Structure 1
Amino acid sequence: MYLFASLSVSLVLNIFNVDQWSTVLRVNPEEPQTTSITNQFFPTLFVGESPYGLYAIEALVDHETITTSPKLVGPPLLEGPAPIALTDVERDQYRPPQRQEFTGAPQSITFKFQDGEYLLLGYHDRPPMVMATIIPTRYPVFPFRNALESQERPQLTGPIEPHKKPEDTSIIVLLINQYPYPFFGAIMTMAALLLTVIWQCGRQWDRNSNDNLRMESFEVVNSPGESKGAQTSKNGSFGRGSFGWTQKKIEIPDGWMAVGSKLMYSPSDILGTGCEGTVVYRGTFDGREVAVKRVVSEFVKFAHREADLLRESDHHPHVIRYFCMESDSQFRYLALELCIASLNDYVEQKELQENVSLTLKEILSQATDGLAHLHASKIVHRDMKPQNVLITTASQRGKMRAVISDFGLCKRVQPGKNSISRGIASGLAGTDGWIAPEVLISASTSYPVDIFSLGCIFYYVLSSGTHPFGKSLHRQANIVNGDFSLAKLAEMEDWSLADDLITTMLHVDPIQRLTAEAVLNHPFFWNAEKRLAYFSDVSDRVEKEEDNSPVCRRIEQDARVIVCGGWREKICDALKEDLRKFRTYKSHSVRDLLRAMRNKKHHYRELPEEVRTSLGDIPDQFLHYFTSRFPRLLLHVYKATEYCSAEPVFRRYYSDAVRSRMQPIVDEEERIRREIKEEMADKEWVRQPKNAEQRQNPDKRTNQRKNNNKKNNQQ
């Protein structure tokens, strides 16, 4: 509800007509220094209402406009003298007779009644507020001039305030006034940086000038028939003589191309190809034969990442060596260690196997060692396959090595994390048929993806080219479903060890897969000497153990299956007769079988000639005598004695991952043993009678004891 100025309300509005202004203001309008009120506009504040709500704007009004001025008697004034005090007689005299009388003048444009608060709509005196005191301005504010008044007409004047110089509010002045020390410190720092940049530019200019002088004496010699325009780069190497830089010529063979100062390659001699236009050529780097990997410039990010990762990890003997990287306008060139073949070529080409001095187990072991080094460096390869495991050329000593190559899809695991998120940045890495199932269905991947691919490589090599997940058409679907076959491992001598190792590596659950370190420590890679030493260490460990101890219970679990019903029936007669001479052995006990193997190994020189001939030489033939008869023995004992993996004797046989997994089990077994021991200590034990007659007649036994005591006393 709003109250308009035209409503009849009991208010006193200080409104006067034209004839009364001169008396109220005590001025004479006829004097020349007095401004005519009839020809002047007055600034007011108009409060109104529109369909969108209330509003207030400044307005200029003449002397006839009704204006509410609660603070003054007279015309509305922005600034000026205090209100004029009138007596009752003067108030009756100067009150306009044509106006309705009001009482209770409001002190503002809003006032309260019993029904609520109301707002007066109309022209009001401007509020006593000076905006310049709130927001300082850099420019002087000129007073408003009436467009209708004459310039010769004098104005009403009041007290003259001294002119103030506009305040300078620039940011630099404010910083100097408020923060002088930081401001000048920043200026000095910027000046020092500018001088340093100028100095470094001067040094670089001098260095480039010297290089240009040196290049004037350098010459690239092309073979006949080759144009200079075919060369990518004509930078060469220099030799330093006694009188400074001397000329040194580099001969580029016919058909070759030079990149940079030391790298050359033959475009016609292609060693291999990759995805996205990647080609590997035969070349030379500083006189050394190398493989030159050419990458398209669009994938320069992958080339630089591969070079960075190789710099950090190529010091390992089973990671391909990196020499340098050069570039031109179209390609990036990586100089890598030259290899004779990939693992895929080794398996598919039988004639190549005759030229490689490495065995299958050595190749797989060295590839696993290189992968373990990458994982220890927080690097996930993400593209393990037979084509990326290479066999190097023979060294001066005739040794070859298996190395991990192709780091284009490698990814570093960030500190504090154990996985790599699979997104646009990481991408779907790998090759169909060698990709782990979690890469396709999981949001993150980690080191187990390389272990899965390595397990596929293991079976591919051991089975002479067969993939565990079948033909290529259904291979990826079988990987997702976990459907694989290791049937061809049955033809191997250590088929049980190989089957257990590869099955664990191909587990559909990444957590259940072995680590690269655990794969290296698996008995599959142990030689005969280490296996025989392991059997002896286990036999020494359980020799004095109680039958119900945790380690003995684990070893004797499914013992009849391990010893094929009874191990005495599987050995030769000569060994049987020799074992009967010294002690008794339980034929169904795994612990006794290990004890027999240990004793015959330690006393091998004392055995009869017939027994030694049957057992064969130590360690290979001796070990084969027992493992061929009991093929599950080594794997069974290895898994059973994981309980002892934290003991110093067995640390070299197990990885840290196995020790971490077994520690809670060992702690729980020890807790149970302590509780049983405490319960036994609290109980009172009574010796039982030896024979049945004494157990049936305890009184007779007591009387006999008393009679014996009497006889002793009489004597």
Structure 2
Amino acid sequence: MQLLPRSVKGHLETDLTLTAIISQSDSSTVYRGTLKVGSELLQVAIKSASNLSAGWRECEVLRLIGCHPSVVHLLQPVTSDGGEFFQVMELCDSSLAQMPALEENVFKVFVQDFIQAVKTLHQKMKFVHGALSLDHLLLNQDQRLKVCSFSKTEVCQNVNLLKKDLQDMAVSILEAPSKERFGDLSPETAFENPRFLVDNLARKSTLSRNDSILLVSLAYPLLTGLTLAQNLENHVFLQSPENVLRFIDGCKDFLMSRSCPMAESRLESTSYSVVGPNWVSQGHLDTMREGRRYDGSMKDLLRLIRNKTEHYCSVPGYIRQCLAHPLVDPGSFLGYFTALFPGLIPWTWHCMFEFRVEANLQAFYPEDGQYLTRVPIQQMIGR
């Protein structure tokens, strides 16, 4: 291998300088380098492929995908005088395999980007990535996801192969926020014991237990081949705290405005697992309920949370210090309740699925979400 730094003549006579090795495999080497375009010097990643046909095929795949915000951008192909093939691409900070555990807010954005990339690759382009792992999921300077390495990508109409590709992607989703890889993670393990995934995430990542449950309920249909990820961006895991509070508001309005024994029965069917034998004794909730009548039902817990967003100022000062203001800091406000009841939001979301056509609930559910009824949420939230 030639010593670095190394210069080659690029496409349209641009100057390309290779300065350091980022990663290396049997089939390719990725360098850090600079691309001189006129008077401007760009920081770039340069991939050298030992297999010319695979290199050109990857270029064609990237050209077909175009400038997708969650796929690495191909800036230009370069051929040196010696016939060696290079691809010049945007430079990202690092792969998820190299990074420490992701902060919770960064990880949620990463999952949103991931789902948009999946929609483009599978549903629009009919591509199977073919080799996705944590090494092929990058974060750029703005902490946004970039999928890379398309040398093994193929056009595919086989639904089973697309689902297998999604299973590999779902494993990467679950591994991404962890401090260490789940060596024994497999679709079969998840199918047999989804609680295993929740426990691992909650123990090994920066995600709270509530968000670990939410994430597993999102990834479970992918792991078990129940769906090709249609409309997963509406999953409650990906909603902002403000929207989750709106979801609670919508559920409360639906439950209080009409008599719906089926909805209440579904909510209460595993309430012991979600909130324990008497939720009003948890934290400061007994003090919060003064002045209004609440029983020990799930419906009234949702009602209390919603009412405190409207009547925050009536809450005693020492409790307000724990809650934070729902308008100023909705994440901390919601986090107080989800720390007490980690399964509250995912359980409510799954129970209210049958009523997703209601105007104030539609935004929180995928249009085609029948697979949700096969997610064993009870196993994930058990105390």
What TM-score range do you get, normalising by the shorter chain?
A: 0.7 to 0.9
Structure 1 window deviating more from structure 2 (490-499 vs 592-601): it is: 490-499
- Rate the CA distance shift 1:570–1:373 in 2: closer, same or farther, 3 A: same
The aligned counterpart of 2:116 is: 369
How far apart are 1:374 and its partner, in Å? 2.3
Q: Which has the higher contact order (CA 8 A, sep 6+)?
A: 2
Q: What does 1:81-160 correspond to in 2, within 5 Å?
A: none
Instruction: Find out whether 1:579 has 2:289 as its counterpart.
Output: yes
Aligned to 1:512: 226
Tell me what 1:464 maps to. 179
Asked if residue 488 in structure 1 is aligned to residue 209 in structure 2, the reply is no
Amino acid at match of 2:286: K
SS of match in other structure, 1:529: helix
2:132 is the alignment partner of 1:390? no
Structure with the greater alpha carbon radius of gyration: 1
Instruction: Give SS of 2:75's match.
Output: strand
Q: Is the 8 A contact 2:46 2:87 kept in 1?
A: yes
Structure 1 position 445 matched with structure 2 position 161:
yes
- The residue aligned with 1:334 is 87
Aligned counterparts of 1:521 and 1:571: Cα–Cα separation in 2: 31
Partner Cα separation in structure 1 for residue 218 and residue 21 of structure 2? 38
Flag the 1:268–1:544 CA change in 2: closer, same or farther, 3 A. closer
Supply the AA of the counterpart residue of 2:184: F
Given that residues 322 and 335 in structure 1 are in contact (C-alpha distance below 8 angstroms), is that contact kept between their aligned partners in structure 2?
Answer: yes
Paired with 1:515 and 1:577, the residues of 2 have a C-alpha distance of 43
* TM-aligned CA distance change 1:467 to 1:617, over 3 Å: same
**In the aligned structure 1, how far is the partner of 2:224 from the partner of 2:171?**
15
- CA displacement at 1:566 relative to structure 2: 1.7
Equivalent of 2:301 in 588, 593, 598 = 593
Taking structure 2 as the reference length, what is the TM-score of the superposition? Answer: 0.79
User: Following the alignment from structure 1 to structure 2, what is the Cα–Cα distance between the partners of residues 480 and 611?
Assistant: 39
Equivalent position of 2:248 in the other structure? 535
- CA distance 1:270–1:262, change in 2 (3 Å): farther
> Where in structure 1 are there 5+ consecutive unaligned residues?
1-229, 231-252, 420-443, 664-715
- Superposition deviation, residue 581 in structure 1: 2.6
**Contact 1:271/1:282 (8 A) holds in 2:** no
Structure 2: segments with no counterpart, 5+ residues: 374-383
Report whether the alignment pairs 1:405 with 2:148. Answer: yes
The answer for the alignment partner of 1:546 in structure 2 is: 259
TM-aligned CA distance change 1:513 to 1:259, over 3 Å = same
Change (3 A) 1:651 1:310: farther
Tell me, yes or no, if the aligned pair for 2:18 and 2:46 is still in contact at 8 Å.
Answer: no
Q: Is the 8 A contact 1:528 1:623 kept in 2?
A: yes
The one-letter code sitting in structure 1 at the alignment partner of 2:215 is L
Give me the whole-angstrom Cα distance separating, in 1, the residues matched to 2:352 and 2:96: 35
SS in 1 for 2:12: coil
For residues 251-330 of structure 1, the aligned pairs below 5 Å read 255-266=6-17, 269-280=20-31, 282-284=33-35, 286=37, 287-296=41-50, 298-300=51-53, 302-327=54-79, 330=83
C-alpha RMSD of the superposition: 3.6
Aligned counterpart for 1:380 among listed residues 112, 118, 128: 128
Deviation at 1:565, TM superposition (A): 0.9
CA shift at 1:285, angstroms? 5.2
Deviation at 1:388, TM superposition (A): 0.8
Q: 1:312 to 1:647 in 2, by over 3 A?
A: farther
Structure 1 distance, partners of 2:300, 2:193, is 39
Are residue 555 (structure 1) and residue 271 (structure 2) matched?
Answer: no
SS at match of 1:326: strand
Alpha-carbon deviation of 1:650? 2.2
C-alpha separation in 2, matches of 1:254 and 1:494:
45
Structure 1 residue 455 and structure 2 residue 170: aligned? yes
Q: Is the 8 A contact 1:496 1:632 kept in 2?
A: yes
Superposed CA deviations along residues 514-539 of structure 1, whole A, max 9, x for unmatched, are 61642x33333333222222111110
Deviation at 1:464, TM superposition (A): 0.4
Q: Give 1:377's aligned amino acid.
A: K
Question: What is the CA–CA distance in structure 1 between the aligned matches of 2:335 and 2:210, rounded to whole Å?
Answer: 14
Amino acid at match of 2:170: G
| Contact 1:469-1:483 at 8 Å conserved across structures | no
- Given that 1:262 and 1:285 are in contact with CA atoms closer than 8 Å, whether structure 2 keeps it comes out as no
Is the Cα–Cα contact under 8 Å of residues 221 and 227 in structure 2 kept in the other structure?
yes
The answer to whether the Cα contact below 8 Å between 1:280 and 1:292 also exists between their aligned partners in 2 is yes
Change (3 A) 1:271 1:571: closer
What corresponds to 2:234 in structure 1? 521
Q: 1:671 maps to what in 2?
A: none
Q: Once the 2 structures are TM-superposed, how far is the Cα of residue 624 of structure 1 from its aligned partner?
A: 2.3
Superimposed CA distance per residue, residues 541-575 of structure 1 (whole angstroms, 9 cap, x where no aligned partner): 11122242x33332222223322112222243xx5
Give, in whole Å, the separation in 2 of the partners of 1:502 and 1:593.
24
Question: CA shift at 1:466, angstroms?
Answer: 2.3
Q: Give the number of the structure whose residues are more often helix, by fraction.
A: 2
Amino acid at match of 1:295: A
SS state at 1:359 partner:
helix
Aligned AA for 2:320? R
Q: How many residues align?
A: 359
The Cα shift of 1:653 comes to 1.3
Partner of 1:605: 313
Q: Which amino acid is the alignment partner of residue 644 of structure 1?
A: F
Matches within 5 A, 1:667-706: none
User: Which letter maps to 2:313?
Assistant: R
Which residues of 2 match residues 40-79 of structure 1 at below 5 A? none
**Corresponding residue for residue 331 of structure 2:** 620
Q: Report SS of the residue matched to 2:180.
A: coil
